[in-house]
Amino acid sequence: MRWKKTITMVEAHAEGEVGRIVTSGVIDVPGNSMLEKMNYINEVDDSLRQFLVFEPRGYAQMSTNLIFDPINEKADIGFLILQSDKAHAMSGSNSICLVTVLLETEMIEMHEPETIVILDTPAGLVRASATCVDGKCERVTLNMNPSYADQLNAIVNVEGLGKVTVDIAFGGIFYALIDPAQFDLKINPENARQLVDIGTRVHRAVNSQLNIHHPALKGLEGISYTMFVGYDDDGVMKGATILPPGRIDRSPCGTGNSARLAVMEARGQVKVGQTLKARSIIDSEFQVEIVSKKIIAGKSCILPKISGRGWIHGIHQIGLDPSDPYPLGYKVADCWGDAFDLLS
């Protein structure tokens, strides 16, 4: 075997959503902050993301996470989330995967009954509290980034659908939140393909028609995802985040529910300290809560808390033979959907 590049990953999932953690083979990415590192990948050199994410070394239904020494001296670890379209600033499910892997592989020492890990992300510091029993990280609770409702009841003209109403909110990244009742749909696996198609069309429309940018964090412009938001028959919150190139997040979604809580708080539908359940399309669950409120960069923000479980399910090593004709991989619409305009 004559690989010229070798990368090792520990694979985990958080309530169904796969997040691979690169543990060796990547030294660093240029940048003096995690935000600058993210922007370097998105704006200067995207080859590492493509190598890790695209086939044959990756697949659509997962994320790959890079870890670094933290730049913020208050943090224990820095990380970036690589997905099908670009590097993203924050992810709750990937943070849960990351903390689970760090503690259960002893990359960071585990303390029972609780271990605190501070994450340095492009969206700011995130405090993770891991409940640990007999060497197992049983649950991770995240104090998420300040989140806020940006535009309520915004109207976009969507190809093939006409006028669609969305809420725009920030939960570590920007979302367009969609009520599926507009399309007479429920959030269940049988409707997954329809939800993806509608969510992808709305994604294109929102980013072309609405002005969305973070007041303080450069490079956080436009929505990253759409998210359908509804309720199960028992009244539990249910959601389906639609990610490029056209798939549904298997977890309830940490950043998405942070954005959703911000919208709910703006409408008086949830109070500070109230704990709720948030359910995914496969019925896995997060616990979600608003811890407090504050003003940041002139915005009224909530401070959300998201709690869920992660499990390690594999160790994966990939490499590159110098003669391989696909050093940056490839993507085909049968698995990757037809939303290639949302991909790099």
pLDDT tens-digit map of 225-252:
999 999 999 999 999 999 988 899 999 9
Same domain, 220 and 273: yes
pLDDT of 197 above 80: yes
Q: Is 336 left (phi over 0), alpha (psi -120 to 50) or beta?
A: alpha
State the pLDDT at residue 339. 58
Residue 341 has pLDDT above 70, yes or no: no
- Per-residue pLDDT at 344: 42
* CA 333 to the chain's CA centroid: 22
Which pLDDT band, with edges at 50, 70 and 90, does 340 fall under? low
Q: Are residues 43 and 112 in the same domain?
A: yes
Q: Residue 191: which pLDDT band, with cuts at 50, 70 and 90?
A: very high
Q: Residue 130 has what pLDDT?
A: 98
**Mean per-residue pLDDT over the chain, rounded:** 94
Residues marked as catalytic: 91, 253
* Same-domain check for residues 210 and 316: no
Structural domain harbouring 286 = 148-308
**What is the DSSP code (8-state) at residue 33?**
S
| pLDDT tens string 141-180 | 999 999 999 999 999 999 999 999 999 999 999 999 999 9
Question: What would the mean pLDDT of 100-117 be, rounded to a whole number?
Answer: 98
CA angle (324 as vertex; 54, 49 as ends), nearest 5: 30
Residues 298 and 206 in one domain: yes
CATH number of the domain where residue 234 is located: 3.10.310.10
Collapsed DSSP state (helix, strand, coil) of residue 97: helix
Same domain for 321 and 253: no
Q: Are residues 159 and 299 in the same domain?
A: yes
For residue 120 the two structure tokens come to 């340095």
For residue range 260-291, what is the model confidence (pLDDT) as tens digits?
999 999 999 999 999 999 999 999 999 999 99
Phi and psi torsions of 342, nearest 5°: -95, 0
User: Is 177 found in the same domain as 292?
Assistant: yes
Cβ atoms of 282 and 250 closer than 8 Å: yes
Which residues, at least 6 apart from 31, have a Cβ–Cβ distance to it below 8 Å?
Answer: 37, 38, 39, 40
Beta bridge partners, 136, equal 133
Confidence of residue 334 (pLDDT cuts 50, 70, 90): confident
Which stretches of the chain are assigned E, i.e. beta strand?
Answer: 5-14, 17-24, 63-68, 77-82, 87-88, 114-121, 124-133, 136-143, 148-158, 162-170, 174-178, 225-231, 237-243, 247-248, 275-279, 285-296, 299-308, 310-320
Residue 184 shares a structural domain with residue 296: yes
Work out the average pLDDT over 72-78: 97
Instruction: Specify whether 334 is located in the same domain as 295.
Output: no
**Nearest C-alpha neighbor of 226 from the set 342, 140, 324:** 342
261 and 291 co-located in one domain? yes
Alpha-carbon distance of 39 to 34, in angstroms, equals 9
Q: Give the number of residues written for the chain.
A: 344
Residue type, 90: M
Q: Read out DSSP for 101-113? A: HHHHTTSS---SS
Q: Please, are residues 308 and 251 in contact by the beta-carbon 8 Å criterion?
A: yes
Q: Report the distance separating Cα 113 and Cα 29, nearest Å.
A: 34
Q: Which amino acid is at 150?
A: D
* 186 confidence band (pLDDT: 50, 70, 90): very high
How many structural domains compose the chain?
A: 2
Spatial separation of the C-alpha atoms in residues 149 and 158, rounded to whole Å: 22
Does one domain contain both 159 and 123?
Answer: no
Grade residue 338 by pLDDT with cuts at 50, 70 and 90. Answer: low
pLDDT above 50: residue 314: yes
What pLDDT shows up at residue 331? 87
Task: Give the integer Cα–Cα distance in Å for 325 and 329.
Answer: 9
Question: Are 304 and 316 in the same domain?
Answer: no
With CA atoms as reference, report the closest residue to 211 among 223, 194, 197: 223
